[in-house]
């Protein structure tokens, strides 16, 4: 299917940058309406419902003019549907299983021209992605549904919210920023993993340096606007270990840029390192190496979500998860030191892995675990069985027995390794919760934020991700302990300052 590969404002000498992408094959109803996404082209501002697109075997927009792409709402429907489905399939490939939207249901509604407004968002309540349109200075109209970054970014919100529902909770500056930063990372790497796009925007051989690539159109999140095109170019953020503590980076979107900068600079270093010794590499070769690097980093990033704690994520947790996710499929770094580069790049922005294990990878659980009463088949799918495992091993796993505990999900996965063999894992998440009065915090070693009344109701959250191997043995227990006094004190202090406890 033909899509616009970046924003319509990003043009080459051939015009708007297009790409032809593969999406899961399925018999589509008019809309298009498929098994996971449903386009409803209704414009609430003018109260117009446009005729649904009927997709056939032939891509009818493969050879049409740029003008037609911009002015035909049926292409807009195709573009938005294809990008949403590609993003979903990228998640499913990386996770090695089906990935649900965050709402109860299967089909995400997509409105490519939902309203007149310079906005686009995911609405969990409406089970929908809504894209606005707005005028540009030359009397033309900009459509957010045509910006690859916007569509991929919003789709990622819908997926991430399904995988880690507590990440939308107020908790810490990092958690507030993670949703935005992660969505930007996925949006950028999705484009960069398209070889054709990279080949058309890749700089010349002489400028294949990290510094030159940072300025490339490939690395900017562009949304054409009425006055100027808005480009978020996080990759150019000057590395500094002080950013995380700086007031400038307290706001979620701005702080999220730190994650994007660390990730995208790592990508550039990997790309350049892959070309080392290939001085004469032609444009196609350079593009292939760039797309391969982006593809692997994209897979790592998405897969890392399974290795993240289900509550109160911080950037350093994500880094450990990223390194662990990759190490499971590639125990050796191989030809290109991805993990080493990631560690270096994140460190340059003051982000060091939470895990004290070798190379920042999560450590295996310590202590003797009981498996005698756990059924192998059931633990791969049954939350009650996983809870039984948790309960019987509560001491070894360091669970708070008094807290309300719920196993949120149990997901069997089958991931494909670099050697072509399948890695079978089961990922389960549990959440713990304690509700108490602020006056009782001291008993748990948690400091009461200054000014918080003793009668104030407080909820503490904790939880963990359990990664079982193909034999049902626990490989990793990635958790935020609910009675971690230092973390809870920090969290409550932040929330009280924001007045959101």
Partner 1 sequence: MPADSKPGKLTLRAYNVGFGDCFLLTFHYPVRDRHVLIDFGAWVKSRKDRLTNKPQASNQGIATTVEQALACSSSISLANRPLIGCEASELQLLVRVAKDISKRCFGKLDAIVATHRHRDHIGGFAGRSGAIIESCHPDVVVQPWTEHPDADPGVSFLGEENLVNLGAVKNLQRIGLRRTYVHYGADSGLESVLPGVTVRVLGPPTLQQTQSIRKQRARDYGEFWLAPERWSAPRTKLFPKARACSPSRRSPNTRSFLGRMRAIHVGQTRQIVRALDKVLNNTSVILLIEAGNKKLLFPGDAQIESWSYALSRPGIRKMLADVDLYKVGHHGSRNATPKTLWNLFAKRSAGSSSQRLRTVLSTTANVHADVPCAALVETLKAQSDFFSTQDIDGKLYEDICMEL
**Sites of contact with partner 1 (CB under 8 A):** 40, 42-52, 71-74, 109, 111, 113-119, 123, 126, 128, 130, 133-135, 141, 225-227
How far from 167 is each of 96, 140, 264, 271, CA to CA, in Å? 22, 38, 22, 31
DSSP category for residue 228:
S
Name which of 45 and 473 has its Cβ closer to partner 1: 45
What 8-state DSSP symbol labels residue 29? B
User: Please, what is the Cα angle at 85 between 83 and 90, to 5 degrees?
Assistant: 95
Nearer to partner 1, 31 or 365 (CB): 31
Sign (positive/negative) of CA torsion 269, 275, 281, 287? negative
Smaller CB separation from partner 1, 44 or 369: 44
Closer residue to partner 1 in complex, CB, 71/457: 71
CA-based angle 388:391:392, to the nearest 5? Answer: 85
State in angstroms the smallest separation of the CB of 346 from partner 1.
Answer: 31
Query: Smallest gap, in angstroms, from Cβ of residue 47 to partner 1?
Result: 8
Smallest distance from partner 1 to CB 134, Å: 6
Residue 494: name the closest of 304, 305, 255 by CA: 255
Residue 383: burial class (beta carbons within 10 Å; 0-12, 13-18, 19+): middle
Residue placing its CB nearer to partner 1 in the complex, 72 or 92 = 72
**Residues 381, 468: Cα–Cα separation, whole Å:** 12
Q: How far is the CB of 175 from partner 1 (least distance, A)?
A: 23
Q: Is 225 or 383 the residue whose CB approaches partner 1 more closely? A: 225
Annotate 266-332 with three-state secondary structure: HHHHHHHHHHCCCCCCCHHHHHHHHHHHHHHHHHHHHHHHHHCCCCCCCHHHHHHHHHHHHHHHCCC
Of the pair 93, 121, the CB lying nearest partner 1 is at 121
Nearest distance, CB of residue 127 and partner 1, angstroms? 8
CB closer to partner 1, 115 vs 371 = 115
In whole angstroms, how close is the CB of 49 to partner 1 at the nearest point? 5
> From the CB of 50, what's the least distance to partner 1, in Å?
5
Cα–Cα distance for residue pair 171/483, rounded to 1 Å: 15
Angle between helices 173-192 and 315-329 (to 10 degrees): 40
Shorter beta-carbon distance to partner 1: residue 118 or 403: 118
Q: Look at strands 37-39 and 108-116 and give their pairing.
A: parallel
Q: Cα dist. 150→3, 88, 100, 174 in Å?
A: 13, 15, 20, 22
Tell me the closest approach of the beta carbon of residue 470 to partner 1, in angstroms: 41
Backbone angles phi, psi at 483, to 5 degrees: -100, 30
Token pair, residue 364, equals 């295996």
Considering the complex, state which of residue 33 and residue 495 has its C-beta at the smaller distance from partner 1: 33
Q: Considering the complex, what minimum distance in angstroms separates the CB of residue 187 from partner 1?
A: 18
Shortest Å, Cβ 45 to partner 1: 5
Compute the distance between CA of residue 169 and CA of residue 500 in angstroms, rounded to an integer: 10
Q: Least distance in Å: CB of 40 to partner 1? A: 6
- At 193, which helix (H) or strand (E)? none
- Tokens (6 digits) for 433: 């919760």
Please give the Cα distance from 463 to 399 (Å, whole number): 9
Q: Which is nearer to partner 1, 128 or 298 (CB)?
A: 128
């Amino acid at each position: 299917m033909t899509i616009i590969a970046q924003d319509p404002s990003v043009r080459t000498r051939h015009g708007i940058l297009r790409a032809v992408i593969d999406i899961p094959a399925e018999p589509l109803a008019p809309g298009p309406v498929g098994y996971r996404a449903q386009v409803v082209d209704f414009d609430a501002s003018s109260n117009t419902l446009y005729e649904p697109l009927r997709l056939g075997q032939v891509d009818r927009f493969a050879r049409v003019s740029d003008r037609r792409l911009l002015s035909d709402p049926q292409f807009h429907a195709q573009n938005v549907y294809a990008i949403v489905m590609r993003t979903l399939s990228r998640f499913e490939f990386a996770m090695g299983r089906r990935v649900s939207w965050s709402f109860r249901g299967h089909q995400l509604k997509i409105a490519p021209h939902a309203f007149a407004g310079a906005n686009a968002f995911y609405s969990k309540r409406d089970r929908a992605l809504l894209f606005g349109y707005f005028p540009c200075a030359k009397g033309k109209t900009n459509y957010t549904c045509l910006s690859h970054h916007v569509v991929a970014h919003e789709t990622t919100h819908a997926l991430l919210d399904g995988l880690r529902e507590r990440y939308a909770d107020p908790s810490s500056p990092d958690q507030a920023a993670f949703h935005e930063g992660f969505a930007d990372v996925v949006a950028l790497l999705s484009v960069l993993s398209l070889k054709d796009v990279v080949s058309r925007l890749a700089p010349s051989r002489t400028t294949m340096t990290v510094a030159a690539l940072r300025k490339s159109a490939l690395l900017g999140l562009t949304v054409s606007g009425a006055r100027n095109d808005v480009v978020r170019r996080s990759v150019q953020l000057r590395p500094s270990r002080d950013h995380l503590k700086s007031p400038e980076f307290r706001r979620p979107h701005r702080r999220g840029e730190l994650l994007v900068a660390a990730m995208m600079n790592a990508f550039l270093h990997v790309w350049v390192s892959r070309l080392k010794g290939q001085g004469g590499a032609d444009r196609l070769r350079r593009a292939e190496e760039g797309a391969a690097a982006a593809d692997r980093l994209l897979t790592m990033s998405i897969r890392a979500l399974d290795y993240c704690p289900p509550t109160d994520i911080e950037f350093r947790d994500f880094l450990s998860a990223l390194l662990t996710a990759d190490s499971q499929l590639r125990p050796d770094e191989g030809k290109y030191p991805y993990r080493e580069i990631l560690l270096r790049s994140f460190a340059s922005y003051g982000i060091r892995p939470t895990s004290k294990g070798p190379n920042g990878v999560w450590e295996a659980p310590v202590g003797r675990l009981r498996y005698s009463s756990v059924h192998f088949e059931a633990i791969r799918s049954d939350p009650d069985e996983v809870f039984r495992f948790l309960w019987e091993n509560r001491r070894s796993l360091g669970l708070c027995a008094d807290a309300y505990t719920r196993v949120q999900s149990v997901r069997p996965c089958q991931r494909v390794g670099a050697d072509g063999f399948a890695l079978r894992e089961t990922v389960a998440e549990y959440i713990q919760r304690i509700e108490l009065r602020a006056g009782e915090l001291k008993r748990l070693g948690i400091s009461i934020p200054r000014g918080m009344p003793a009668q104030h109701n407080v909820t503490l959250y904790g939880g963990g991700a359990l990664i079982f191997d193909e034999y049902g043995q626990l490989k990793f227990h990635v958790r935020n302990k609910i009675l971690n006094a230092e973390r809870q004190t920090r969290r409550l202090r932040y929330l009280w300052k924001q007045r959101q406890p």
